[in-house]
Structure 1
Amino acid sequence: MNSLDAIGKMLIFFGLFIVVAGAVLMAAGKIGGLGRLPGDIFIQKGNFTFYFPVVTMIIVSVMLSLIFNIFFKR
């Protein structure tokens, strides 16, 4: 296999992964609650806004870990 073939396949895979991840995030924004969970840090003072979704990141991390463990178990 040519090294350019491997790089091309890798770019296609990452491109498809980014498209799927974008679609999931767009759908998640329409599902109520995700991104505005209790425990997410939201500070607004004047024209400054800081948002850090701690609990949302933990939930997404656990879900992705479960999915990857199910599909990529060896």
Structure 2
Amino acid sequence: MTGIGKLLMTIGVIVFIIGFLMQFIHIGKLPGDIVIKKGNTTFYFPIVTSIVLSVVLSLVFYFIGKFR
């Protein structure tokens, strides 16, 4: 059970840090994100933003796992 507790605390700290950083770094609307506007409706699909966040989180979890 202690392993699960440490994992949950680590995930919580990472989510907190990401949330804190997003207050200052405006992620989104990168070139390559899909925006479709028709009338009153706007569809926004952040494909490039998702890829960038995936790479960053993969690196973070890789380094966390490496130093355990």
TM-score over 0.5 for the alignment?
A: yes
2:35 and 2:23 map into 1 onto residues whose CA distance is: 21
**Can you give the 5+ residue segments of structure 2 that lack an aligned partner in the other structure?**
none
Report whether the alignment pairs 1:22 with 2:19: yes
* Structure with bigger RCO (C-alpha 8 Å, 6+ apart): 2
**What is the CA distance between 1:18 and its match in structure 2?**
3.8
Question: Which of 1 and 2 has greater Rg?
Answer: 1
**In structure 2, what is the Cα distance between the partners aligned to 1:53 and 1:40?**
5
Residues 42-74 of structure 1: per-residue CA shift (max 9 Å, x gap): 111111011111001101110111111112126
Q: What is the TM-score of this pair, normalised by structure 2?
A: 0.68
Alpha-carbon separation, structure 2, partners of 1:37 and 1:15:
27
Kindly tell me the number of residue pairs found equivalent between the two proteins. 63
TM-score norm. by structure 1 comes to: 0.63
Query: Which consecutive residues of structure 1, in runs of 5 or more, have no partner in the other structure?
Result: none
